[in-house]
Chain A
Amino acid sequence: MGELTIVNIQTASFIGSISLVLIGLVAVLFIDNLIKKVLGLMFLTDGVNLFLVALGYRVNVPGGAVIPIFTEGFFKAHNASMATAIGDFSARAGFCLPYALVLTNIVIGAATMSVVLGLIIRLYQRHGTLSSSEILTERMEND
């Protein structure tokens, strides 16, 4: 098999997250339908989450990166020497502070989404349409 020169997983995740954020911004700003604006908001949140998770990934470590959970098998692999086991683990485990941030962000995103959807249902009951430009012109005429 020949040489395949592409970027590593972390850089590819950064590129993917930036494109998700751009798609979400374009959808929020330029699409007329309110449900599709909500989908764009979801892509924006997903892009930021993917960026934060990719920050904690380890590339180019000997033996490969591992999930940041210290298990018994890791201890036994180093002949029950705690010092070398912890040193090897801390060199290979992913950085897990961004994961806690992302966990909170997902839950807050779900709560925000439910409030936004409730407001959309009220707007539809008052104006009878989901198109944001029609709702805006109708409100301009009333004022």
Chain B
Amino acid sequence: MTVPVSDLPIYALIFASVAIAILSLLPRDLYKAVIVGGGIEGLSLTVLFMRLLAPDVALTQAILASALIPALIFITVYKTSRWES
């Protein structure tokens, strides 16, 4: 089947969210891991939910999964150790 050109960014976003999830598990600095795996992955999923006809889910995802949970993990890393041994 043929695919319209306007759908091509969606395929890029799906691929990007999987690739970002793998990349965020690599660095030894836990702050970097949280920014990449929490924030950027949540934002890409937000745009994906917006495009998959669910704007209400996208609003909740934008607030909770890409802002609140990374902030909580940041506080945890600040209170414990920053470098993975």
Contact = CB atoms under 8 A, between A and B. Distances in A.
Nearest to A124: B80
A39 B73 CA distance: 9
Interface of B: 1-3, 7, 10-11, 14-15, 17-18, 21-22, 24-25, 30, 33-34, 37-38, 41-42, 45, 48-49, 52-57, 60-61, 64-65, 68-69, 72-73, 75-77, 79-81, 84-85
Nearest to A123: B80
Interface of A: 3-6, 8-9, 12-13, 15-16, 19-20, 23-24, 27, 31, 33, 35-36, 38-40, 42-43, 46, 49-50, 53-54, 56-58, 65-68, 93-94, 96, 99, 102-103, 106-107, 109-110, 113-114, 117, 120-121, 124, 129-131
A35 B49 contact: no
B31 to A, nearest CB: 10
A96 B53 CA distance: 9
Contacts of A107: 60, 64
Nearest to A118: B76
Given A12-B10, A43-B37, A54 B52 contact: yes
Q: Interface centre among A35, A49, A67, A106, by most B CB within 10 Å?
A: A35
Contacts of B34: 35, 39
- Of A8, A39, A94, chain B has the most CB atoms within 10 Å of the CB of A39
Contact of A23 (B18, B52, B73): B18
A13 B60 contact: no
A94 to B, nearest CB: 4
